[in-house]
């Protein structure tokens, strides 16, 4: 066997072990009896250790060392362009993994697993002091991780690079500043307009079984294949994949919020289409892996917002929704419904935010995270800092820490650098969708007749099957011919909400 074939065989073992771990985690969030938590954490930790050890062991470094310089990642002579790209990406994963000592990996896994449990308790009790000591420990571990990996620009950039390879915090700042400059005045104008979008109609009683069936119908129309996927319920909706032929999503329901489950179902459906659309031929390698977290998020948000909150989409689905809930919707017009689902309102909780103010929640977290990682501000200052920034960005001040600094799980698992990718997803998805409009004839008319498959197929070819052959920056240029900018996203928001709010 050639070194590259041996390497792929060994990487498949790493990926199979990770898949088994992910399946245990999926079960933990869906069906596992509550009392099994402790042993489940041990089982997951064992599989994670095994996959890590296999990745950094001789069985991988042997063949990898024949293909690249193990110190620099430089591919050796004689490889094709595609092979060079592949081994360079494999080396990146290997390099990141081997930089961390085994004792560190174990300590990190135990500390973050404990921190997640303490965070959940602290949020429930609205008690930041309870969370602060373990958060400090997690942050100290991040400082150690940064030291192991080696700082090139700023410490925060090393963490950001894990979620968004090639992205820098300097460039994120440029993009976010450009958004901020137009978004804050837009949100202020909307608030001053005094327009009532009639959001109350979404808060009536909506039977959850009927909501479930309606969501599944949309998923099927999007092309989510239930023969190689399934949907279940969980406290926090998520998508998980063990292979392109086993991609699962979860959702949650609120009887008195029609948009909550529908949005999250379509959102996770967008993530799932990406995973189902990857090339199984390359399973176990970076070519069957997402380009970045931001590109993953672009797929979910494209479906959730650009499709799922659009006029063409609801002109097809609203009459069908009226038939399911005649008692609530029979007297409502399509225009009324469209306005209600597109309500913009500053709020305290990120996951419940609308598509415009959502980005302000992310900018706040980006600024706070840089202060924590680059400037090492004391943990005790975080609640006050958070609340001040909420007032500055959104004009609302949390009354409690549960509604403020404690609301998100990310810091407890050490996910510093993750948040920016949520807003980057919004910036990526508009130029991608604009290009789909250019290349798919009459896309709006197709969506308005319930034909979502052509868009899915186009995304499959342009995004899903590419894998890590391209970086996010390269992918955007490949698809749109232009470098990423904040303008398409802000043009979209301004055009849309000028009409909704009669600005
Ligand atoms: Zn998402």
Q: Model-level pTM?
A: 0.96
Q: Nearest 5 degrees, angle CA 423-CA 100-CA 104?
A: 100
Ordered domains of the chain (ranges, CATH): 3-150 (no CATH), 169-500 (1.10.1370.30)
Distance 270 CA to ligand 1 centre (A): 8
3-class SS string, 368-397: HHHHHHCCCCCHHHHHHHHHHHHHHHHCCC
The pLDDT, as a whole number, for residue 330 is 96
Kind and range of the H or E element at 102?
helix 102-125
Mind listing the pLDDT tens digit for each residue in 232-261? 999 889 999 999 999 999 999 999 999 999
Residue 45, pLDDT above cutoff 90: no
Question: Rounded mean pLDDT of the chain?
Answer: 96
Token pair of 106, please? 């174990």
Specify whether the backbone of 34 is left (phi greater than 0), alpha (psi in -120 to 50) or beta. Answer: alpha
Contact status, residue 292 vs residue 163, Cβ threshold 8 Å: yes
Is 136 known to be catalytic? no
Q: Which residue has the tokens 């007749």?
A: 449
The pLDDT, as a whole number, for residue 38 is 84
The pLDDT, as a whole number, for residue 337 is 98
Distance 421 CA to ligand 1 centre (A): 10
Q: Which residue has the tokens 């409502």?
A: 332
Say how far apart CA 503 and CA 498 lie, in whole Å: 5
Distance 192 CA to ligand 1 centre (A): 31
What average pLDDT does the segment 488-495 reach? 98
Q: Which of 99-108, 320-329, 408-417, 492-501 is the least confident region? A: 99-108
Q: DSSP states of 221-239 as a string?
A: HHT--TTSEEEEE-SS--E
The pLDDT, as a whole number, for residue 469 is 97
Token pair of 155, please? 């410490």
The pLDDT, as a whole number, for residue 105 is 86
Distance 117 CA to ligand 1 centre (A): 22
Q: Which residue has the tokens 């930790």?
A: 45
Distance 267 CA to ligand 1 centre (A): 6
Distance 271 CA to ligand 1 centre (A): 7
Residues whose CB is less than 8 angstroms from the CB of residue 3 and which lie 6 or more positions away in sequence, other chains included? 63, 64, 66, 67
Given the residues 10, 89, 164, 268, select the one marked as catalytic.
268
SS3 assignment, position 42: helix
Mind listing the pLDDT tens digit for each residue in 182-200? 999 999 999 999 999 999 9
Q: How confident is the model at residue 219 (pLDDT cuts 50, 70, 90)?
A: very high
Q: How confident is the model at residue 34 (pLDDT cuts 50, 70, 90)?
A: confident
Q: Which of 96-105, 139-148, 463-472 is the least confident region? A: 96-105
Kind and range of the H or E element at 137?
helix 128-149
Contact status, residue 318 vs residue 310, Cβ threshold 8 Å: no
Q: Nearest 5 degrees, angle CA 291-CA 294-CA 299?
A: 85
Sign of CA dihedral 477, 479, 481, 485: negative
Distance 297 CA to ligand 1 centre (A): 5
Residue 37, pLDDT above cutoff 90: no
Token pair of 369, please? 């995270």
Mind listing the pLDDT tens digit for each residue in 262-278? 999 999 999 999 999 99
The pLDDT, as a whole number, for residue 114 is 86
Q: How confident is the model at residue 4 (pLDDT cuts 50, 70, 90)?
A: very high
What average pLDDT does the segment 426-446 reach? 98
Neighbouring-strand partners of residue 247: 229, 241
What average pLDDT does the segment 415-440 reach? 98
Distance 224 CA to ligand 1 centre (A): 16
The dihedral formed by the CA atoms of 219, 263, 493 and 451, expressed in degrees to the nearest 10: 20
For 107, counting Cβ atoms within 10 Å of its Cβ (0-12 exposed, 13-18 middle, 19+ buried), the class is: middle
Sign of CA dihedral 333, 440, 220, 287: negative
Q: For the chain, what percent of residues have pLDDT higher than 90?
A: 92
Distance 409 CA to ligand 1 centre (A): 14
The pLDDT, as a whole number, for residue 433 is 98
SS3 assignment, position 246: strand
């Amino acid at each position: 066997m050639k070194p590259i074939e041996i390497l792929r065989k060994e990487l498949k073992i790493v990926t199979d072990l990770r898949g088994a771990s992910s399946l245990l985690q999926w079960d933990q969030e869906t069906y596992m009896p509550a009392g099994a938590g402790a042993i489940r954490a041990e089982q997951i930790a064992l599989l994670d250790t095994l996959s890590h050890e296999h990745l950094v062991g001789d069985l991988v470094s042997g063949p990898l060392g024949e293909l690249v310089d193990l110190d620099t990642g430089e591919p050796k002579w004689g490889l094709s362009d595609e092979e060079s790209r592949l081994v360079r990406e494999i080396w990146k994963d290997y390099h990141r993994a081997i930089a961390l000592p085994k004792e560190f990996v174990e300590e990190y896994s135990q500390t973050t697993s404990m921190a997640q449990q303490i965070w959940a308790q602290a949020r429930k009790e609205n008690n930041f002091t309870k969370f602060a000591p373990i958060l400090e420990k997690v942050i100290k571990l991040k400082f150690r991780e940064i030291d192991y990996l080696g700082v090139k620009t700023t410490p925060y950039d090393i963490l950001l690079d894990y979620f968004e390879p090639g992205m820098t915090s300097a460039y994120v700042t440029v993009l976010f500043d450009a958004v901020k400059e137009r978004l804050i005045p837009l949100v202020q104008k909307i608030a001053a307009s005094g327009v009532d979008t009639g959001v109350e109609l979404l808060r009536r009683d909506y039977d959850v079984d009927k909501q479930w069936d309606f969501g599944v119908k949309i998923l099927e129309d999007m092309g989510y294949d239930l023969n190689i996927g399934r949907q279940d319920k969980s406290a926090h909706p998520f998508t998980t994949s063990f292979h392109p032929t086993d991609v699962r999503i979860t959702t949650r329901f609120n009887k008195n919020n029609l948009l909550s489950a529908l949005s999250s179902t379509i959102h996770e459906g967008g993530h799932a289409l990406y995973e189902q659309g990857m090339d199984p031929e390359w399973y176990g390698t970076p070519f069957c892996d997402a380009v970045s977290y931001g590109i993953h998020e672009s797929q979910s948000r494209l479906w959730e917002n650009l499709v799922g909150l659009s006029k063409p989409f609801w002109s097809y689905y609203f009459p069908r929704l009226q038939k399911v809930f005649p008692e609530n919707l029979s007297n409502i017009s399509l225009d009324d419904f469209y306005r209600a689902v597109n309500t913009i309102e500053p709020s305290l909780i990120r996951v419940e935010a609308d598509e415009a103010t959502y980005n302000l929640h992310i900018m706040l977290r980006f600024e706070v995270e840089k202060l924590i990682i680059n400037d090492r501000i004391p943990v005790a200052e975080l609640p006050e800092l958070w609340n001040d920034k909420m007032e500055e960005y959104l004009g609302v001040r949390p009354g409690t820490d549960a509604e403020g600094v404690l609301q998100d799980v990310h810091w407890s698992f050490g996910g510093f650098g993750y948040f920016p990718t949520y807003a980057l997803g919004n910036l990526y998805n508009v130029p991608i969708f604009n290009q789909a409009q250019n290349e798919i004839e009459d896309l709006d008319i197709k969506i308005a007749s319930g034909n979502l498959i052509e868009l899915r197929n186009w995304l499959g070819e342009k995004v899903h099957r590419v894998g890590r052959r391209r970086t996010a920056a390269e992918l955007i240029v490949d698809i749109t011919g232009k470098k990423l900018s904040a303008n398409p996203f802000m043009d979209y928001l301004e055009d849309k909400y000028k009409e909704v709010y009669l600005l």
